[in-house]
Amino acid sequence: KKISLAIITKMTLTQVSTWFANARRRLKKENKMTWAPR
């Protein structure tokens, strides 16, 4: 169970980081919202 949990967590972390990367790219394209500090 620990192994499967680690795999699920890793996948989730990857998805989250990917989502944030996409969101950042989207913000750069639109430049309407500037909630990101960088």
Residue pLDDT, tens place only, 13-24: 999 999 999 999
More confident residue, 30 or 14: 14
Report residue 32's pLDDT band, with 50, 70 and 90 as the boundaries: low
- Locate 3 and state its tokens: 């192994």
3-13 pLDDT tens trace? 898 888 999 99
pLDDT confidence of residue 30: 72
Q: What single-letter DSSP state applies at residue 34? A: -
Q: How many CB atoms lie within 10 A of CB 27?
A: 14
Residue with tokens 């750069």: 28
Secondary structure element (H or E) that encloses residue 9, with its range: helix 2-30
- Locate 26 and state its tokens: 């989207």
pLDDT surpassing 70 at residue 28: yes
More confident residue, 35 or 12: 12
